Structure 1
Amino acid sequence: MASSSRIPQSKETLLKTYKNQLKVDVRNMLVNFEEIMKLASRESPNQICKATQCEQDALEMQVRAANMVRAGESLIKLVHDIKEFHILYDFPAIDEDIKKKSELCSAMQAEYDDKIARVAKDMADELSDLEDEYNSSSHT
């Protein structure tokens, strides 16, 4: 969660709100679905007439289905809000990542330049030694 420490407090609060809303909506859908399944499989004798019980169960199923639809619509809105959040607030993170990678590449370039300079100096020293050896040899 290192990336969340870079997010200002208002953004952090917004993310927590999104997370809580997601939990609430999913829980509402699950609870209402479970209740609909219970109503559909219930065959309990009551003091109420069977036709009245069927009407009551049908009405409760409609209400619970409407609750599920409302929770689904809320989830769709939440997805839209999260996409918007990502678009609005992720550019600074991308810019920061690009800046870090650029700095890393610059540091690596400087390191490689130093290594190449050392190799060139070593080669020049060796070449100078070889020239001295050649010039002082009896073959000249």
Structure 2
Amino acid sequence: MSQPQRAISQTKEALLKTYHKKLKDDVRSMFDNFTEIIRLARVEEDSQIAKMTQTEQDQYEMQVRASNIGRAGESLMKLVSDLKQFLVLNDFPSVNESITTNTQLYKNIQSECDKTLMNLKDEMSVELFELEDEYYSSSYK
């Protein structure tokens, strides 16, 4: 493998590792925040903080954690978009195979259309010949 190809391969590998790390971090963030929201939902009996104050604090923390879950979800959606773009831009064999398949399909369709048109032309030619013959041999002309 030549140096430029090896460098490109290492770049792709590094990018994929970055994507994998980002995936793990976002999923872990979602899990941790969800776990903390569940923990906050538990009712605690005795506390030195007033019930209303504790409730407000818990509500605020839940909102922040829900926002963190939303942010991680958006990050995962961006990651999916980046992976799709990476696949489209770097999967040349698949793209070439798709182009070749489509080209062959359209050539087959073109061939069938050409055959149909030729048959139609031949039939029309025969019918036109018969019509001309009938017209010229008619006594009404």
Q: TM-score range by the shorter chain?
A: 0.5 to 0.7
Say if 1:73 and 1:96 are closer, same or farther in 2 by CA, change over 3 A.
Answer: same
Greater shift, 33-42 or 20-29, is seen at: 33-42
Say if 1:95 and 1:40 are closer, same or farther in 2 by CA, change over 3 A.
Answer: closer
Q: Which runs of 4+ in 1 moved over 4 A?
A: 95-98
SS in 2 for 1:21: helix
Which residue is 2:94 aligned to?
94
Shift of 1:74: 0.2
In 2, the alpha carbon distance for the partners of 1:97 and 1:14 equals 25
Q: Return the TM-score normalized by structure 1.
A: 0.61
In 2, the alpha carbon distance for the partners of 1:60 and 1:95 equals 48
Which residue is 2:47 aligned to?
46
Alignment of 1:97-108 (within 5 A): none
Q: Cα RMSD (Å) of the superposition?
A: 2.1
Sequence identity percentage: 57
Shift of 1:96: 8.4
Q: Return the TM-score normalized by structure 2.
A: 0.60
Q: 1:19 corresponds to which letter in structure 2?
A: H
Shift of 1:94: 2.8
Q: 2:69 corresponds to which letter in structure 1?
A: M
